[in-house]
Amino acid sequence: MANFETKEIKTFDYERPSIEKGYANQSLHVNISDSEISIKPVTEKMKEVFTGGKGFDLWLLWNAVKGNTKWNDPENEICVAGGPLCGTPVYPGSGKSIVTSISPTTGSVMDSNVGGHFGPFLKFSGFDALEVQGKASGDVVILIDGIDQKIRIMEMSGLPDGAHEVSAVLTEHFGQGKPRNISVITAGPGAKHTLIGCLNFSWYDLKRKRVRYKQAGRGGIGSVFADKGIKAIGVRWDSVNVDTNKPADKAALKAVAKNYSREIVELDPKQNEMSRVGTTHLVTIMNDYDLLPTHNYRYGQHKEAPNMGQEVYRRIFDPGFDGCWMGCTVACSHGIKDFVPLTGPYKGKKVFVDGPEYETIAGCGSNLGIFDPFTVAEMNFYCDTYGLDTISVGTAIAFVMECFETGLINHTHTGGMDFSFGNKVSALELVHQMAKGEGFGKIVGQGIRKMKAIFEKDYGADPRVLQDIGMEAKGLEFSEYMTKESLAQQGGYGLALKGPQHDEAWLIFLDMVHNFMPSFAQKAEALHWFPSFRTWFGLCGLCKLPWNDIVPEDNKDTAEPAKVMKHVEWYAQYFSAVTGRQVSPDDLILMSEAVYNFQRIFNLKMGFGRREHDDIPYRAVGPVTVVEYESRQDRYDTQLVEQHKVDIKDKSTDEKVALLRERREGMYEKLKDAVYERRGWTSDGIPTVETVKRLGIDFPEVLDVLKSHGIE
């Protein structure tokens, strides 16, 4: 056990309120610059307009920052919230938190969702949301002690560097013999030295007697955390049962929860077996459909991909219950016990790897031309304990590898390292460099947008090529799906509020395989409904996996199978039972639409949020190079001839690449038009006054932002 010293900076006593129908009805504000702690009321209006979770986060952050606030300004905040349904132990997937902040890589508002016990424990300790503002010079640790009703700000020196060790040490220290009462947020040294840092949210795994964690990975919020000088935030809470969240109608809650939980237990073994293999089942499926990114999204398929599929991880994962919240029957948070890294500070030591999930396998594996499950596990372990987002790390290294192989950068830029695709040693070394803020890793850790600028300015690389192959939009690295053959998913990524993350919309099968949305209007409708419904999970503290990754057996016979309406109806019943606010499925969409549009306007406030910011690199739209085109020549030739009515006789591949590009880019712009119209936005992608009035977000400050952009 580490030796560390604690210096108490501030202790703040408070009276914990009773939870009422899913809400604590207050939020906690901590400013670590001056150790100021205050409690703010959560008003009925806040609940009505923003619902909770991400909605509360956004509203609190909006009020804390100005339009010119930068990610590392003291006034920037990290906001954490669950939501009114968060902490319900009987309904699967009810333990999520949402974190928001101004992002170091996008410069705008970022949100990232995460499992673990922090969100539920925070609420039961008396707070629907937490705002942390300011900056400190030392290693600050904040403890929200819901049992003793105290907030403590401490400086702790001598804590270990690795997030898994910090989480374990503080869980034991604060747990007073009951480690399951503790959840800890940590980042790590990589978060401190890069802009793509993640946050680890812990829980105590009773069976394995160890601290586990999940990650709020996207957009560098871990880097904000580290830049503020925060080492950890802990929360302490006692036992939880169905009454803890004080549902308005306990009988109704138990009835709908029982249906859902039973269905998952019955159907998951018949469907994707997520309780056994997690999301690793997606690897071979994506590969089969040419959707698994390989070699920086050039291709969607590789013959070695099955080496990292669910059949392999089924054997590697440590069997047992792996729910990241109590009572979740999906229980997909699997891990690898007694893993021995071959590199880095834990080389030769047995560690537990929390993961990998699909995104990490694709990002740190296939997209780098690496098809070795153990290298992926090692990347996963180090990214987590260093506090690095595995998606941004993977996508950034994939970009580096393509730049290296095509001669845009060379050994002199990489410190002598070879970055050919498939080079496991270099990929791992780069992660270690990111953690130390040294060498080429210091540059790669800035993320792709900043790398593009450095490669152009300092290394003389062609900016047009960098733009085409650098897989970022809005400053955020793409998550791990190929979108070339799904226009709807190009929109799913490009029109997503925070940048290209699939949590807003995943429409590839519906669009590409089922052809459920052949017209622009149908695609626009999907890009209205799905982001709205998926946003709703973030307002309530829920995981989306139980909604559509395990579906009723008769779902396929319903009018709109993709929406899984039986489950949507159950969610409406669930919300009604907890909050006492009687809602229908359509009401859920309206709740989300308000927050969704508010976030779009938040982007506008920060200087983004217009049509030009919804552009995506051409690699996401179609084949950039002759080699890519020729790898799927029949497909592209057929499309040019049959869909676009182009005479390709005597055309060179270069000419066909250009012809296809012109048409596909035109289609993406048409998609933007259709989606903006459906969402009630102007052709520049800005919500109209009519839209914000309809959604009840026409506050004076919102209207002022719109007015400053000519919208009145």
Residues in contact with other proteins, counted by CB under 8 A, come to a total of 37
Which listed range, 176-184, 371-379, 466-474, 543-551, lies at the site for other proteins (CB under 8 A)?
A: 543-551
Closer CB to other proteins, 544 or 664, in the complex: 544
218 in contact with other proteins (CB under 8 A) = no
Closer CB to other proteins, 273 or 637, in the complex: 273
286 in contact with other proteins (CB under 8 A) = yes
Of the candidates 35, 53, 50, which has an alpha carbon nearest to the alpha carbon of residue 122?
Answer: 53
| Residue from 25, 125, 261, 272 in contact with other proteins (CB under 8 A) | 272
| Residue from 4, 12, 352, 509 in contact with other proteins (CB under 8 A) | 509
12 in contact with other proteins (CB under 8 A) = no
Q: How far is the CB of 271 from other proteins (least distance, A)?
A: 5
Any idea what DSSP says for residue 640? I
Q: How far is the CB of 551 from other proteins (least distance, A)?
A: 5
587 in contact with other proteins (CB under 8 A) = no
Of the candidates 284, 288, 291, 276, which has an alpha carbon nearest to the alpha carbon of residue 306?
Answer: 284
How many other CB atoms sit within 10 Å of the CB of residue 178?
14
Q: Is 586 exposed, middle or buried (0-12, 13-18, 19+ CB in 10 A)?
A: exposed
Q: Is 558 helix (H, G, I), strand (E, B) or coil?
A: coil
Closer CB to other proteins, 182 or 564, in the complex: 564
543 in contact with other proteins (CB under 8 A) = no
| Residue from 291, 361, 444, 624 in contact with other proteins (CB under 8 A) | 291
Structure tokens belonging to residue 432: 């270690």
Closer CB to other proteins, 302 or 450, in the complex: 302
| Contact status, residue 108 vs residue 191, Cβ threshold 8 Å | no
What sign for the dihedral angle of Cα 92, 95, 101, 104? Answer: negative
Q: How far is the CB of 534 from other proteins (least distance, A)?
A: 10
Which listed range, 27-35, 266-274, 591-599, 612-620, lies at the site for other proteins (CB under 8 A)?
A: 266-274
Measured in whole angstroms, how far is the alpha carbon of residue 541 from the centre of its chain?
14
| Residue from 553, 630, 655, 690 in contact with other proteins (CB under 8 A) | 553
282 in contact with other proteins (CB under 8 A) = yes
Q: How far is the CB of 263 from other proteins (least distance, A)?
A: 13
Q: What is the b/e burial string over 435-447, where b = at least 16 CB atoms within 10 angstroms of the residue's CB?
A: beeebbbebbbbb
Residues of span 558-577 touching other proteins by CB under 8 A:
561-562, 564
Q: Which residues pair with 557 in a beta bridge?
A: none
Structure tokens belonging to residue 566: 């039986």
Structure tokens belonging to residue 1: 């056990």
Residue 508: CB partners within 8 Å, gap ≥ 6?
289, 291, 481, 483, 486, 488, 489
Q: CA 209, 212, 216 angle in degrees (round to 5)? A: 165
| Residue from 506, 529, 598, 602 in contact with other proteins (CB under 8 A) | 506
Residues of span 300-329 touching other proteins by CB under 8 A:
309-311, 314
Closer CB to other proteins, 80 or 510, in the complex: 510
DSSP H or E segment with residue 6: strand 5-13
638 in contact with other proteins (CB under 8 A) = no
Closer CB to other proteins, 4 or 289, in the complex: 289
270 in contact with other proteins (CB under 8 A) = yes
Q: How far is the CB of 362 from other proteins (least distance, A)?
A: 10
d(CA 197, CA 55): 23
548 in contact with other proteins (CB under 8 A) = yes
d(CA 280, CA 265): 19
CA distances 437 to 160, 220, 398, 399, 588, Å, are 17, 15, 19, 19, 44
Closer CB to other proteins, 96 or 656, in the complex: 96
| Contact status, residue 54 vs residue 539, Cβ threshold 8 Å | yes
| Residue from 273, 304, 405, 677 in contact with other proteins (CB under 8 A) | 273
Closer CB to other proteins, 132 or 551, in the complex: 551
Which listed range, 94-102, 548-556, 604-612, 695-703, lies at the site for other proteins (CB under 8 A)?
A: 548-556
361 in contact with other proteins (CB under 8 A) = no
| Residue from 80, 235, 383, 510 in contact with other proteins (CB under 8 A) | 510
Interface characters, 463-502, with other proteins (x: CB under 8 A): ----------------x-x--------------------x
| Contact status, residue 151 vs residue 27, Cβ threshold 8 Å | no
285 in contact with other proteins (CB under 8 A) = yes
| Residue from 331, 551, 591, 624 in contact with other proteins (CB under 8 A) | 551
Closer CB to other proteins, 133 or 284, in the complex: 284
Closer CB to other proteins, 33 or 271, in the complex: 271
Q: Which residues pair with 8 in a beta bridge?
A: 154
Residue whose structure tokens are 């680890």: 200
Structure tokens belonging to residue 627: 């080699």
Closer CB to other proteins, 267 or 583, in the complex: 267
556 in contact with other proteins (CB under 8 A) = yes
Closer CB to other proteins, 2 or 285, in the complex: 285
Q: How far is the CB of 360 from other proteins (least distance, A)?
A: 13
Q: How far is the CB of 606 from other proteins (least distance, A)?
A: 26
Three-state SS string across 485-551, please?
Answer: CCHHHHHHHHCCCCCCCCCCCCCHHHHHHCCCCCCHHHHHHHHHHHHHHHHHHHHHCCCCHHHHCCC
Q: How far is the CB of 277 from other proteins (least distance, A)?
A: 9
| Residue from 513, 626, 641, 658 in contact with other proteins (CB under 8 A) | 513
233 in contact with other proteins (CB under 8 A) = no
Structure tokens belonging to residue 460: 């003389």
Residue 569: CB partners within 8 Å, gap ≥ 6?
585
Q: Is 256 exposed, middle or buried (0-12, 13-18, 19+ CB in 10 A)?
A: buried
From edge to edge, which strands make up the β-sheet containing 129-133? 36-41, 26-31, 129-133, 77-81, 97-102, 109-114
Closer CB to other proteins, 92 or 107, in the complex: 92
Contact residues toward other proteins (CB under 8 A) are 270-273, 281-282, 284-286, 288-289, 291, 309-311, 314, 358, 479, 481, 502-503, 506, 508-510, 513-514, 548-549, 551, 553, 555-557, 561-562, 564
